């Protein structure tokens, strides 16, 4: 965690001191769901915040999407930005919850909340993703119901966890989502400029016993790409999909 992360917490505390009578470090710790002693050690640089705890603090402070991402980047140490243990552990959805939000645009909506220009309206969601306003509104309602989204103290939509995932267990909902993503990739080949997308692949004869090892390496690769691509300006919502399958009948 860098000094800038501590400075963010100090600045917010000092701002509240000037605006609220009898505000104290103890009350600030309570607002952040931390013990006063733990918060004190953080502000003195003697304890380090995990990304998971930083996410909870950002929610409690009601930080907007841009300030949240800056705070997360400050919490990350530059030397371990790409270390596996620096990622927030995924929050696994139940099979029922995933079934409710398995249509591709649900996940896209949660990512739209990170864009600096996101105005928190159904109209913008519909226009950005090319879906109907009715579908956009119902999707937001579903995301709130399964607690993938919540509303901050200003009523703005915020993603409740940085990394949602589902167990890779065969189900009709999961198969349907994979098909939807592949169809979106198919359309992108014709609709998006070459320099705005990446399509690559390789055909090889494999040792099938290595598929479990390949699955783990692909999972780790996807997580590393998430850290790389999300560390910076939030310009547009993208999908990364990796497929490994047999060409034989």
Mean pLDDT (whole number) for 163-187: 88
* Final residue before a domain boundary, out of 58, 79, 100: 79
pLDDT for residue 233? 80
pLDDT for residue 89? 62
Distance of CA 177 to the CA centre of its chain: 18
**One domain, residues 212 and 241:** yes
DSSP string, the chain: --HHHHHHHHHHHHHHHHHSTT--HHHHHHHTT--HHHHHHHHTTSS---HHHHHHHHHHHT--HHHHHHHHHHHS-GGGTT-GGGSPPPEEPPHHHHHHT-STHHHHHHHHTTSTT----HHHHHHHHT--HHHHHHHHHHHHHTTSEEE-TTS-EEES-S-EE------HHHHHHHHHHHHHHHHHHHHS-GGG-----------GGGHHHHHHHHHHHHHHHHHHHHSS-----------------
**With helix as H, strand as E and coil as C, how does 58-95 read?**
HHHHCCCHHHHHHHHHHHCCHHHCCCHHHCCCCEECCH
Spatial separation of the C-alpha atoms in residues 189 and 197, rounded to whole Å: 8
pLDDT, tens only, 197-247: 999 999 999 999 999 999 999 988 988 888 788 877 889 999 999 999 999
Residues 6+ apart with CB under 8 A from 245: none
Residue 154 lies in a domain: yes
pLDDT for residue 156? 87
Domain count across the chain = 2
pLDDT for residue 94? 87
Task: Give the range among 53-57, 81-85, 176-180 with minimum mean pLDDT.
Answer: 81-85
Give the domain CATH number at 194: 1.10.10.10
Residue 49 has pLDDT above 90, yes or no: no
**One domain, residues 99 and 72:** no
pLDDT, tens only, 69-115: 778 778 865 444 444 444 556 678 888 899 999 999 999 999 999 88
Task: Give the range among 34-38, 76-80, 94-98, 132-136 with minimum mean pLDDT.
Answer: 76-80
pLDDT for residue 85? 44
Mean pLDDT (whole number) for 139-157: 90
Confidence of residue 1 (pLDDT cuts 50, 70, 90): low
Spatial separation of the C-alpha atoms in residues 96 and 116, rounded to whole Å: 32
Residue 85 lies in a domain: no
**One domain, residues 193 and 216:** yes
Domain range enclosing 168: 90-249
Report the half-sphere exposure of 189 (CA within 13 A, side-chain side): 7
Residue 182 has pLDDT above 90, yes or no: yes
Distance set, CA 221 to CA 210, 240, 241 (Å): 16, 11, 11
In the numeric block, which tokens belong to residue 185? 């990739």
Residue 84 lies in a domain: no
Give the domain CATH number at 55: 1.10.260.40
**One domain, residues 66 and 118:** no
């Amino acid at each position: 965690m860098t000094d800038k992360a501590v400075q963010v917490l100090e600045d917010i505390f000092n701002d509240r001191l000037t605006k609220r009578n009898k505000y104290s470090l103890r009350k600030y710790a309570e607002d952040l769901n931390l013990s006063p002693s733990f918060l004190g050690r953080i502000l003195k640089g003697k304890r380090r915040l995990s990304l998971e705890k930083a996410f909870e603090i950002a929610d409690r402070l009601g930080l907007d999407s841009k300030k949240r991402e800056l705070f997360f980047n400050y919490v990350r140490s530059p030397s371990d930005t790409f270390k596996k243990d620096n990622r927030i552990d995924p929050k696994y959805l139940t099979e029922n919850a995933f079934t409710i939000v398995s249509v591709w645009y649900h996940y896209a909506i949660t990512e739209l909340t990170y864009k600096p220009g996101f105005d928190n309206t159904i109209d913008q969601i519909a226009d950005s993703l090319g879906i109907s306003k009715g579908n956009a509104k119902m999707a937001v309602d579903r995301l709130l119901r399964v607690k993938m989204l919540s509303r901050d103290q200003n009523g703005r939509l915020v993603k409740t966890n940085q990394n949602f995932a589902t167990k890779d267990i065969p189900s009709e909902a999961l198969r349907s989502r994979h098909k939807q993503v592949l169809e979106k990739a198919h359309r992108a080949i014709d609709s998006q400029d070459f320099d705005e997308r990446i399509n690559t692949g390789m055909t090889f004869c494999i040792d099938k016993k290595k598929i479990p090892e390949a699955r783990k390496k692909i999972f780790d690769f996807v997580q590393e790409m998430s850290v790389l691509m999300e560390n910076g300006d939030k310009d547009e919502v993208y999908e990364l999909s990796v497929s490994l399958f047999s060409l034989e009948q």
